[in-house]
Structure 1
Amino acid sequence: MKITIVIPVYNSSRFLDKTLKAVDDQKNISNWDLELILVEDGSPDNSFEVIEKLSDHYGYIKAVKLSRNFGHQIAVKTGLSYSTGDYIAIIDDDLQDPPSLLPRFFQELDNGYEVAYGVRKKRKESEAKKLAYTSFYRLLNSISDTKIPLDSGDFCVMTKNIKDKMLSLNEQNPYLRGIRAWVGYKQVGVEYERSGRIEGESGYSLKKLIKIAKDGIFSFSSLPLQIISLLGNIGLFISCVFTIFTVIRYFNNKIDVAGYTTLIIMIMFFNSILLISLGIIGEYIYRIYNEVRNRPYTIIEKTINI
């Protein structure tokens, strides 16, 4: 059985050697026929130079350098496109999902599952981050047309069959854990305690986290479009009530020049609904435009052993 491990690399030059040492230790323990694919996602540091040096020591490394920072999901998708193993694993470069857990996951594939994904039982992160992640996963699960497992990330193992099916969906803004769930087949969650980072800060800025959240919501739920209808119905109801109220005042001869405040409030309310609706429609239109341009989802600058 050939094993492929895909690791997206971003700003990891200081500790990447520790990550590869952990992978190599587990390779020797489990006697893997290993293919390790490192995708350097336009890091501002010298991560790719470190990868080049490490590839001299670890002959099973294959590396891809992207021409700029395309984002975590694109980096993982690029790594999957170069994967040739029978079983493929996705882990991060910071050892929060350590290679020592992989034999448990591969065992599930041996038992007949096509995908074994990690379910985070505990996270060593700030309370604010944990609350945000927990809330988002539950929100997405409740509104998604595809049921995406709670508290599951990109950390998983899959068969070559699932990898091929996922890559057949050529989306410009992929939400991979959602695509993985959408593909279907026999999948199982494996609980584990997520470790803290071995060093450095997460490459996920607030802006990147919001983008991934938007990719998940807009790619796997029609709720934003339904919200427009809901806002329209609320506006219609308020308009009807206000119209009845105005007519009653008219027949009771209580209409006077006053009403400036009410008028301003009504204009601001309906303009807000209009702008929110246009923003939601604009998000979908941009995503459609992004798909029909048919640009490549990434640009490869350099490779090693490929």
Structure 2
Amino acid sequence: MNRKITLIIPVYRSAKFLHKTLEAVDNQKKESGWDLEVVLVEDGSPDNSFEVVQDLAKIYPYIKGIKLSRNFGHQIAVKTGLHYATGDYIAIIDDDLQDPPSLLPRFFEQLDSGYEVAYGIRRKRKESRLKKLAYTGFYRLLDTISETKIPLDSGDFCVMTKNVKDKMLTLNEQNPYLRGIRAWVGFKQIGLEYDRSGRIEGESGYSLKKLIKIAKDGIFSFSSLPLQIISILGNIGLLISILFSLFTIIRYFTNEIEVAGYTTIIIIILFFNSILLISLGIIGEYIYRIYNEVRNRPYTIIEKTVNI
């Protein structure tokens, strides 16, 4: 059965090399005989990426172009693309060919065999050792604390059926962590290992600040452990208070109380104030996210489109 394929590609700072990505997509389209649409979501890029998208849409008529009014972030860009995907099978890939289109036929075979989602598991990745260590640590931390089983070392690179895409879009979250949402909706899923390539050109649009935001979205959206930590810190503080109170009472009755004790008092004050501020910070993070959802703002603003 010939199924329509949709490729969702978020676009950011890729004006110089986006044509190479589309060439690779078109070559795979011809080789596999896809009935294809490509949704390019330009996420407020500071270069002329959307002009390139417009030019490419003249060459490849199956392109749909979307320009967001500002930079809303990778996850929002992908979610926007999901809303405009009309294919029976939907794939999410990056614009830098780190997840090349040539891998997709192997993933689509899994959907043909009955799976609803096939996601990529990164066996190797062309990044610095520090960055790889941070990714590895984060994925294992999230796996430990999350109430939802999120596959280790899996990114947004995946293929899914229209059914799963529709179910994911019912979760209208302001700060979506899509690989977590993909795992949360369930259905029959399989992970496929692959070696992630280096970027064809340029530098990643993921700054440290953006990576930290995605990490926070994953942790606070799929785990209540930070709130449980507050209770643990409170219990530790209570235990220390009781022990120190007993110590002080014993010293009082044994006439060992001296004027000295300034250092001890300062240490105790700093300790409990630190616990208090950490607890307020964690609670504030959850309250901010609740506030974000209650405001019910649109999660993105579209400035202009091509072929839509």
Using the alignment, how far apart are the partners of 1:245 and 1:200 within structure 2? 62
Unaligned runs of 5+ residues in structure 2 are none
Using the alignment, how far apart are the partners of 1:267 and 1:79 within structure 2? 51
Using the alignment, how far apart are the partners of 2:24 and 2:43 within structure 1? 21
| Aligned residue number for residue 87 of structure 1 | 89
| Aligned residue number for residue 120 of structure 1 | 122
Using the alignment, how far apart are the partners of 2:187 and 2:302 within structure 1? 31
| Aligned residue number for residue 169 of structure 2 | 167
| Residue identity in the other structure for 2:270 | M
1:228 equivalent in alignment to 2:230: yes
TM-score, normalisation: structure 2: 0.99
1:74 equivalent in alignment to 2:80: no
CA shift, 1:256, in A, is: 1.3
| Aligned residue number for residue 299 of structure 1 | 301
1:148 equivalent in alignment to 2:150: yes
CA shift, 1:62, in A, is: 0.3
| Aligned residue number for residue 7 of structure 1 | 9
| Aligned residue number for residue 30 of structure 1 | 32
| Aligned residue number for residue 259 of structure 1 | 261
Tell me the SS of whatever aligns to 1:190: strand
Using the alignment, how far apart are the partners of 1:241 and 1:201 within structure 2? 54
RMSD (Å), alpha carbons: 0.3
| Aligned residue number for residue 204 of structure 2 | 202
| Aligned residue number for residue 193 of structure 1 | 195
Identical aligned pairs, as a percentage? 82
| Residue identity in the other structure for 1:27 | K
Q: Deviations over 1:221-280 (max 9, x none)?
A: 000000000100110111111111111101100011110000000000000000000000
| Aligned residue number for residue 214 of structure 2 | 212
CA shift, 1:71, in A, is: 0.1
Unaligned runs of 5+ residues in structure 1 are none
| Residue identity in the other structure for 2:57 | S
Q: Deviations over 1:36-78 (max 9, x none)?
A: 0000000000000001111100010001000000000000000
Using the alignment, how far apart are the partners of 1:59 and 1:275 within structure 2? 55
1:64 equivalent in alignment to 2:53: no
Tell me the SS of whatever aligns to 1:20: helix
| Aligned residue number for residue 135 of structure 2 | 133
| Residue identity in the other structure for 1:271 | N
Using the alignment, how far apart are the partners of 2:98 and 2:224 within structure 1? 33
Residue in structure 1 matching 2:246, options 217, 240, 244: 244
1:110 equivalent in alignment to 2:112: yes
| Residue identity in the other structure for 2:73 | G
TM-score, normalisation: structure 1: 1.00
Residue in structure 1 matching 2:41, options 36, 39, 42: 39
